[in-house]
C-alpha cells in the first residue's frame, strides 16, 4: 500500500485549500470594502501594499528554497489582508510592508512554508509591528475623516475603547455605533455585525468549525463577566470586551487558521478556551491593549501538546469501551 504524506491543512471534504482560502479572501475583501467606505482610498492602498509585500516575499522565499511556485496557493494574500485589516488606516506603508515581510520571511518559510508553519504568520506580523511601532499601530483615525493617500497624516488620531478599558475607565462609545463599526479602531475589525455575519458564513460553508471560535468567545466573555474591568455590571463588561479591539476579528480570521490549530474537535474546544483565557489575561496584565494576536501566538505553541494529550485521552476512552464490550460478551457467553 502506498501512503502519501501531505502537510496540513488536512481537508476531508470536496473543498480544496484554494476554495477555503477563497472563502476567507472573499470575506476579507468585504471588510476591505467597508474600510474603504469608512476611511477612503487610503484603506484600500494599505491592503494592496500589504498583500503585494506578502505575495512577493512568499514567491521569493519559495524560489530561494528551490521549490516550484504554486500560484493557486492564496495563503500569502490572506496573511497580507489580515495584517492590513488589524492596522489603523493611517499606518505608514513601510510598517505594513515590514509586518508582511516578517510574517512571511521569519515566521512562515523557515518552518517549511504553507502548511508547516507553527505560528500564525499574520498574528506574528502584527505583533512585530506592535512591538516596533506601538505609537503608529495603536492610534486610530475617526471614521469618515479624509486621510491623504500619500504624505503626512494630519487627521486627529485617538485611542480604541480597549485602551479606555485598559486604563480602568468606561468607554463612552454607543453600543449601536460599535456594532456598526463607527468608532476609532483597526480598519477591518470594528464592524462587529459584519464580522459576526462572516463567522456565520464560514460556519455555514464549513470552512471553519464552530468548536474553535465559539469556546474562544465564550471563555473570553466568561472571564470578562466574572472579573469586569469597567466599574459597572458584568454584562456591560462582556459587551465592551468583545466589541473593542480586534477580539472578534481574531476569533474569526486568525484563530481559525487550519494549519496552526489542533486537528480534533475536542482539541479545538480546549485550544479555543485556552486562547480565550490567555487573551483576557493579556488584556488585564499585558503591556498593550490589543492582546488577541499575542495570545494566539502563545496558544499556537501549545497546539502540539493539546493534540498529543487529546489523542491519548481518546485512545484511553476507546480502550475502555472495548474492554467493556469484551466483558459484556464474556458475561453473555
For other proteins, the binding residues (CB under 8 A) are 94-95, 98, 106, 110, 128, 131-133
SS3 249: helix
In whole angstroms, the minimum distance from the beta carbon of 264 to other proteins comes to: 31
Residue 158 has φ and ψ, to the nearest 5°, of -140, 175
In whole angstroms, the minimum distance from the beta carbon of 137 to other proteins comes to: 11
Distance of alpha carbon 194 from alpha carbon 253, whole angstroms: 13
Contact 218, 201 (CB under 8 A): no
In whole angstroms, the minimum distance from the beta carbon of 82 to other proteins comes to: 19
Residue 320 has φ and ψ, to the nearest 5°, of -60, -45
Name the residue nearer to other proteins (CB basis): 183 or 288.
Answer: 288
Name the residue nearer to other proteins (CB basis): 11 or 105.
Answer: 105
Name the residue nearer to other proteins (CB basis): 39 or 102.
Answer: 102
Specify the DSSP class assigned to residue 141. E
Residue owning grid cell 455585525: 193
Name the residue nearer to other proteins (CB basis): 111 or 225.
Answer: 111
Q: Is 70 exposed, middle or buried (0-12, 13-18, 19+ CB in 10 A)?
A: middle
Contact 187, 89 (CB under 8 A): yes
The 3-class SS string of 43-103 reads: HHHHHHHHHHHHHHHHHHHHHHCCCCCCCCCCHHHHHHHHHHHCCCCCCCHHHHHHHHHHH
Contact 198, 26 (CB under 8 A): no
SS3 content of the chain, % helix, strand, coil (to 5): 65, 0, 35
Name the residue nearer to other proteins (CB basis): 133 or 210.
Answer: 133
Name the residue nearer to other proteins (CB basis): 37 or 132.
Answer: 132
Task: Supply the Cα-derived Rg of the chain in whole angstroms.
Answer: 21
In whole angstroms, the minimum distance from the beta carbon of 99 to other proteins comes to: 11
In whole angstroms, the minimum distance from the beta carbon of 131 to other proteins comes to: 4
In whole angstroms, the minimum distance from the beta carbon of 71 to other proteins comes to: 27
Name the residue nearer to other proteins (CB basis): 54 or 248.
Answer: 54
In whole angstroms, the minimum distance from the beta carbon of 276 to other proteins comes to: 24
Amino acid at each position: 500500500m502506498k501512503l502519501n504524506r501531505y502537510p496540513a491543512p488536512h481537508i476531508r471534504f470536496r473543498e480544496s485549500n484554494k476554495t477555503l482560502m477563497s472563502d476567507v479572501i472573499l470575506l476579507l475583501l468585504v471588510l476591505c470594502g467597508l474600510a474603504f467606505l469608512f476611511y477612503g482610498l487610503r484603506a484600500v492602498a494599505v491592503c494592496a501594499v500589504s498583500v503585494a509585500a506578502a505575495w512577493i516575499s512568499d514567491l521569493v522565499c519559495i524560489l530561494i528554497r528551490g521549490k516550484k511556485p504554486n500560484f493557486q496557493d492564496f495563503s500569502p494574500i490572506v496573511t497580507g489582508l489580515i495584517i492590513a485589516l488589524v492596522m489603523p488606516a493611517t499606518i505608514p506603508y513601510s510598517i505594513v510592508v515590514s509586518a508582511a515581510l516578517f510574517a512571511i520571511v521569519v515566521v512562515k518559510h523557515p518552518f517549511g512554508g504553507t502548511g508547516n508553519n507553527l505560528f500564525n504568520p499574520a498574528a506574528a506580523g502584527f505583533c512585530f509591528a506592535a512591538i516596533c511601532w506601538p505609537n503608529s499601530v495603536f492610534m486610530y483615525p475617526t471614521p469618515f475623516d479624509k486621510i491623504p493617500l500619500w504624505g503626512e497624516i494630519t487627521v486627529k488620531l485617538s485611542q480604541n475603547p480597549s485602551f479606555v478599558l485598559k486604563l480602568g475607565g468606561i468607554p463612552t462609545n454607543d453600543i449601536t455605533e460599535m456594532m456598526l463599526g463607527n468608532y476609532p479602531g483597526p480598519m477591518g475589525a470594528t464592524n462587529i455585525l459584519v464580522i459576526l455575519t462572516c463567522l456565520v458564513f464560514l460556519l455555514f460553508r464549513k470552512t471553519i468549525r464552530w468548536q474553535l471560535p465559539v469556546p474562544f468567545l465564550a471563555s473570553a466573555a466568561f472571564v470578562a463577566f466574572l472579573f469586569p474591568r469597567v466599574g459597572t455590571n458584568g454584562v456591560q463588561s462582556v459587551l465592551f470586551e468583545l466589541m473593542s479591539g480586534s477580539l472578534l476579528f481574531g476569533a474569526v480570521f486568525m484563530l481559525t487558521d487550519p494549519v496552526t490549530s489542533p486537528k480534533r474537535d475536542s482539541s479545538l474546544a480546549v485550544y479555543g478556551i485556552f486562547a480565550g483565557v490567555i487573551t483576557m489575561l493579556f488584556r488585564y496584565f499585558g503591556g498593550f491593549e490589543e492582546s488577541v494576536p499575542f495570545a494566539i501566538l502563545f496558544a499556537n505553541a501549545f497546539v502540539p501538546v493539546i493534540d498529543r494529550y487529546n489523542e491519548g485521552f481518546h485512545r484511553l476512552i476507546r480502550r475502555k469501551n472495548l474492554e467493556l464490550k469484551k466483558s459484556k460478551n464474556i458475561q453473555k457467553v
